[in-house]
A and B are shown apart, each in its own frame.
Chain A
Amino acid sequence: MMTESVLYSTLLLTLLGGIAAAVLYFVSKKFYVYENPMITEIEDILPAANCAGCGSPGCKSFAEKLVNTEDISDLFCPVGGNDVMNLVAEVLGKEVTEKDPTVAVMRCQGSCDVRPKTTEYQGPKSCAISAMIYSGETDCQYGCLGDGDCVIACKFDAMYMDKNTNLPVIITDKCTSCGACVEACPRDIIEMRPKNKKDLKIFVSCMNEDKGGIAKRACEVACIGCSKCDDICPKDAITMVNNLAYIDPVLCTLCRKCVPVCPTNSIIETNFPPPKVKKVKTNVKEKDEPVKSKTNA
Chain B
Amino acid sequence: MLKTFPKGGVHPHENKLTSAKAIKKMPVPKVVYVPISQHIGIPSIIVVERKNKVAIGQVIAKSGGYVSSNIHSPVAGTVTKLDKIIDSSGYKKQCIVIRTDAKNSSNFDEIKFPLKEEILLTPSEILQQITKCGIVGLGGATFPSHVKLILKEDNKIDFLIINGVECEPYLTADHRLMLEKADEIIVGIKILMFALHIKKVVIGIENNKKDAIALFKKLLKNEDRIKIAALKVKYPQGSEKQLVKAILKREVPKNGLPLDVGVIVHNVGTVFAIYEAIQYNKPLIERVVTVTGKKLKNPSNYWVKIGTPIKDLIEEVGGVPEETRKIVNGGPMMGKAIKNTDMPVTKGTSGILVISKEEASRKEVENCIRCGECIFVCPMGLEPFLLMNLCERGMYKRASIEDIMTCIECGSCSYVCPSNRPLLDYIRFGKNIARKLETVKN
Contact = CB atoms under 8 A, between A and B. Distances in A.
Is A in direct contact with B (CB under 8 Å) within the complex? Answer: yes
A119 interface: yes
A132 B90 contact: no
Given A129-B425, A133-B425, A122 B361 contact: yes
B11 interface: no
Contacts of A136: 90
B437 to A, nearest CB: 14
Contact of A141 (B91, B425, B432): B91
Given A134-B89, A135-B89, A129 B426 contact: yes
Interface string A122-139: 111010110011111000
Contacts of B258: none
Contacts of B428: 132
A118 interface: yes
A118 B362 contact: no
Contacts of B29: none
Contacts of A118: 339-340
A45 B422 CA distance: 45
A122 B362 CA distance: 7
Interface residues of B, number: 17
Contacts of A129: 425-426, 429
Contacts of B432: 132
Contacts, number: 38
Nearest to B424: A123
A129 B394 CA distance: 12
B91 A123 contact: no
Nearest to B422: A124
B192 to A, nearest CB: 36
A135 B90 contact: yes
Interface in B85-115: 86, 89-92
A135 B86 contact: yes
Contact of B362 (A123, A133, A141): A123
B339 A119 contact: yes
A134 B89 CA distance: 5
B422 A141 contact: no
Contacts of A119: 339
A281 to B, nearest CB: 49
Interface in A65-121: 118-119
A126 B92 CA distance: 22
Given A132-B432, A135-B339, A123 B90 contact: no
A186 to B, nearest CB: 10
A124 B340 CA distance: 22
Contacts of B422: 123-124
Contacts of B89: 133-135
24 contacts: A118-B339, A122-B361, A122-B362, A123-B362, A123-B422, A123-B425, A124-B422, A124-B426, A126-B429, A129-B426, A132-B428, A132-B432, A133-B425, A134-B89, A134-B90, A134-B91, A134-B339, A135-B86, A135-B89, A135-B90, A135-B91, A136-B90, A141-B91, A141-B92
